[in-house]
Structure 1
Amino acid sequence: MEQLFFQQVVWLYQQEAITGETIYIDGTKIEAYANRYSFVWKKAITKHEAKMYIKWQALLEQINTTYCQIFTSPYETFLEDLKKVLVFLEKVKAEENITFVYGKGKRKTVLQRYHEQVKEMLQRKEHYDTSNQIMGEKRNSYSKTDHNATFMRMKDDPMRNGQLKPAYNVQAAVDAEFIVGINAFSDRNDTTTLIPMLQYVKEHLPFTYRNIVADSGYESEENYVYLKKQKQTAYIKPQNHERKKKASFKKDIRHRENMAYDKSTDTCANNQQLHAIRNYTRTSQTGYQSKVTVYECEDCTDCPLKEKCTKAKGNRQLHVAKEFLAYRETGTLYRMNRSIQVEGTFGVLKEDYHLKKFRTRGTGNVRNELLILAFGYNLNKIHTKIQANRLNLYYHPLKTA
């Protein structure tokens, strides 16, 4: 199905129905075919494992006292130590020819009690390790009935009361109203899906997109740096774009954008200079490292504007990722077309094609389901554009006043 879909996209490119230059990326969350109450949470696993480790230390001390041993168990070798102690207890059982008893009215030996507790802890530890392996570093939950599905906040009802459901983050790439790439991810955040989505499209197409248009949910320094290395132009809406247009934002002296700046110095609303005092590295969820510079106002003592500027007891500090700010660009025509083309595509898939919940499980099967829908969507779009004589029209024009 994957090969067939991308053959269709290549044919569209050959017919000049798509640009092959500008691509619009967006995502939406679609419910997985999984039990809604089959969740496993990373926080719960971490908490229970920590409590079990405390009980394990107490049990290990009892075993050492009973059998005159010197077992120790640092957290790093928790699993191996459980196995080692269990082997020791089974050896004692064989040497002393002890038979374990079960059922009502049977009195268990001290050895049997130790053996059962260690065995139970070992099973729980193996279960916790398996769950952490399924989730990996980026996820904090998964479904027992579909391990690739993550519990995400869904907006279902008219009152917009969000519900946590097992779901996939579906990413679509659109060019001239045609779907040129679609995939499902377990990431709740759109930011971490941009690079793998672009790599997926690039891997299957004989041409490379130069203009990448995306919403503010995809803005990060890591994504900007990646696009620059690929010689692609980023048209990503800044995360504070809507807030910056409000009068309340422009009047708020706390924001960096409202401070006076030139090449030689930065000054706050009270004309006090801000000096760079240190640098540090911030690591993102994907492991990308960003350099951050900390600026501090020279003296906030007795400043009449301090209450409006900061809640800090000392001087005001600003944390600035300079490289990230340098990458921000704008593209009015592209941003307007992104909202029409890719969000319109999701509207059709959800309402007309009834993509409200997947019918298969696992990322591979879900991807195939999406590719079938996208293939049919493109066929329908070809027919519609031919009938309207719009096959070679790539952009919706900006409205003029």
Structure 2
Amino acid sequence: MYKDYNMNQITIPLNIEVMIPADDIAIAVNDMVESIPDAAFEDFDHHFGAASHHPRMMMKIILCGYAQSVYSGRKIEALLGDSLRMKWLAQHQHPSYRTINRFRIHPHMNALIAEAFIQFRMQLQANDLIDDEAIFIDGTKLEANANKYTFVFRKSVEQHQEKLRAQSKLMYDTMYEQMIIPALLEESEDIVTDAHLNTMHQALETVENDLTEAIDATEDVPDRKAIRSERSVIRKAKKKCADLRDRELKYTQQLAILGERNSYSKTDTDATFMRMKEDHMRNGQLKAGYNLQVASNHQFVLGYDLYPNPTDTRTLKPFLDTMLETFQHLPGKIVGDSGYGSESNYEMIMDDYERTALIPYNTYYKEKKKKYKDDEIHPANWPYDATNDLYICPDDREIRFDRYTKRTDKCGYTRSFKMYASDDCSGCPLYDMCIKSEKRINKRIQKNMNLEYFKAQVNHQLSTKENREIYQQRKVDIETVFGNLKANLSFRRFSVRGMRKVKIETGLALLALNLRKFTHILRTNMKIDMKNGEASLKSRCLAIFLSFQRLYVPAPYFM
């Protein structure tokens, strides 16, 4: 005996919405996009040509596709004909894959995604799913949509350009001595640019034309042969000059693309070659990628940004600026790992933003160990005489203050140091253990008092029970986000090229990740309520609201 199955039976079509469960991802996508104000979509409106699909609908189907690990425009188009949830979100409209791809790289998508993050965060706060106490910040590297062997390295370009300019200078000197060209360089100048080479090429071309006219005007065979030989030399010089000019222009353009970076990919010039954790060859091969910085709370992404530099230290300041200006959220406590622990970052968080930095410095855990505290050779454990401003070494010798000094790093940040030096370390039994230099020198100590102050502040903050519990939550919070993004959402490699487009795709993927997390929490709460046999007040109110919304609130009108 079988259940009734008849494909020839005529049925009345029902609203697809009644077939979608209340805890489905499509419901979360629809509610989130509908919460975005109309002003955020005004930039997508146009008053010429045919009517376009509504941006709310386009945003919904793309987010729903990303939430199902579907990132291809063609596959999203296929889902519009196969998936019930996609049919409901699109209201039976079928935009082509070209329309989908054009929409998700629209110039105003970054602003729309930022507004979506703000609205979603406000919903999370209203439902007590996140708190305003702290944000957890960390970074991960994602592979760019670029070929493997398309790298351009700064060091190689600079070496080739240096050799090229030596050849260009030699050619310039030769042509100037032969009076083919006038003086193009000042006495203090020593670099022959592409503009100079172009002028030299034009001068050689003029000489070549004059020799050609001379050949045509000469009937004597030996004279014509001599002029042809001379023209052959000029032509070779002209060809070499054109080659030098083109190479100089190419190296100049490559250095302009590099900017402050050390490498880039020819396929995606905004991508930088980095060392990835996913190293299948196990040979440390560099891959073109982007450094993704994420701020989270309770495993929900509250903000993000992408940077070309592979290390996290220099990304914190611009990322906090992005969090405050773009995503309008910067709580009182900034939590990060030791990769962000630097003097400039501490100064920026504590002084500029007036926030609490729960970020250990690079030797924080080492200094907590008993071996470090009992090491009498380390200057940090030496007694300090504040009255005379000196340290006393284990051999009872005085290390007195010597001078002040400053150092400026490549990023322009200046550090101030106090230098201490010993008058005489000769005859010290601990000399070989204390001084590792091969030269026989006296002991010198440098102290960064500004950094020591911030380290003391960090030690004090991380010593309290409340802050220690918050910092221990960091790994659970932010690392789970990266695990869900790469493993569960299968988002490990970009499908678009260029910083602007890559940033849009990242925002869509992180929004989809938030919606999956929110849907999972809603589904879990419903299961718990059904298991207990009595729903909580919040779950009942949410279920009633969703039911009334789907039954009585009309669907938005799409042009």
Q: TM-score range by the shorter chain?
A: 0.7 to 0.9
The alpha-carbon deviation at position 175 of structure 1 amounts to 1.4
The alpha-carbon deviation at position 377 of structure 1 amounts to 1.5
Partner of 2:363: 240
- Name the aligned partner's letter for residue 207 of structure 2: V
Matched position secondary structure for 1:37: coil
Matched position secondary structure for 2:366: helix
User: Structure 1 residue runs of 4+, over 6 Å off?
Assistant: none
- Name the aligned partner's letter for residue 130 of structure 2: I
Partner of 1:167: 289
Partner of 1:361: 497
The alpha-carbon deviation at position 248 of structure 1 amounts to 4.6
- C-alpha offsets along residues 265-316 of structure 1, whole Å, 9 cap, x if unaligned? 3222323222332333322343222222322223222211111111232112
- C-alpha offsets along residues 164-213 of structure 1, whole Å, 9 cap, x if unaligned? 11111111101122110122211111011111111111112344322111
Partner of 1:88: 203
Partner of 1:289: 414
CA distance in 1, matches of 2:142, 2:197: 41
The answer to whether the 8 A contact 2:323-2:329 is kept is no
CA distance in 1, matches of 2:386, 2:173: 65
Q: Does residue 27 of the first structure (1) align with residue 139 of the second (2)?
A: yes
Partner of 1:300: 425
Question: Map of 1:2-401 to 2, 5 A cutoff?
Answer: 2-67=114-179, 69-72=182-185, 74-75=189-190, 78-97=193-212, 109-137=232-260, 139-157=261-279, 161-227=283-349, 228-264=351-387, 265-312=390-437, 313-328=440-455, 329=458, 330=462, 331-386=467-522
Alpha carbons of structure 1 residues 229 and 380: separation in structure 2 relative to 1, 3 Å: same
Q: Which has the higher helix share?
A: 2
Q: Which moved more, 1:127-136 or 1:76-85?
A: 76-85
CA distance in 2, matches of 1:258, 1:159: 45
CA distance in 2, matches of 1:155, 1:162: 9
Q: Which moved more, 1:306-315 or 1:203-212?
A: 203-212
Alpha carbons of structure 1 residues 88 and 314: separation in structure 2 relative to 1, 3 Å: same
The alpha-carbon deviation at position 358 of structure 1 amounts to 1.5
| Greater C-alpha radius of gyration | 2
The alpha-carbon deviation at position 82 of structure 1 amounts to 2.5
Q: Which has the higher strand share?
A: 1
The alpha-carbon deviation at position 6 of structure 1 amounts to 2.8
Equivalent pairs, count? 384
Percent same amino acid among aligned pairs? 31
The answer to whether the 8 A contact 1:254-1:310 is kept is no
Q: TM-score, normalization: structure 2?
A: 0.64
Q: TM-score, normalization: structure 1?
A: 0.87
- C-alpha offsets along residues 3-43 of structure 1, whole Å, 9 cap, x if unaligned? 22332123323433222231110001111110010000000
- C-alpha offsets along residues 144-182 of structure 1, whole Å, 9 cap, x if unaligned? 000111111122258965321111111110112211012
The answer to whether the 8 A contact 2:194-2:246 is kept is no
Alignment root-mean-square deviation, CA:
2.7
Matched position secondary structure for 1:276: strand
Structure 1 runs not aligned, ≥5 long: 100-105, 393-401
- C-alpha offsets along residues 340-389 of structure 1, whole Å, 9 cap, x if unaligned? 10011111111111122111111122212221121122122223334556
Matched position secondary structure for 1:332: helix
Alpha carbons of structure 1 residues 119 and 327: separation in structure 2 relative to 1, 3 Å: same
Alpha carbons of structure 1 residues 234 and 144: separation in structure 2 relative to 1, 3 Å: same
CA distance in 2, matches of 1:93, 1:158: 57
- C-alpha offsets along residues 232-260 of structure 1, whole Å, 9 cap, x if unaligned? 11111110123334455445445332222
The answer to whether the 8 A contact 1:195-1:223 is kept is yes
- Name the aligned partner's letter for residue 174 of structure 1: S
CA distance in 1, matches of 2:343, 2:392: 25
Matched position secondary structure for 2:159: helix
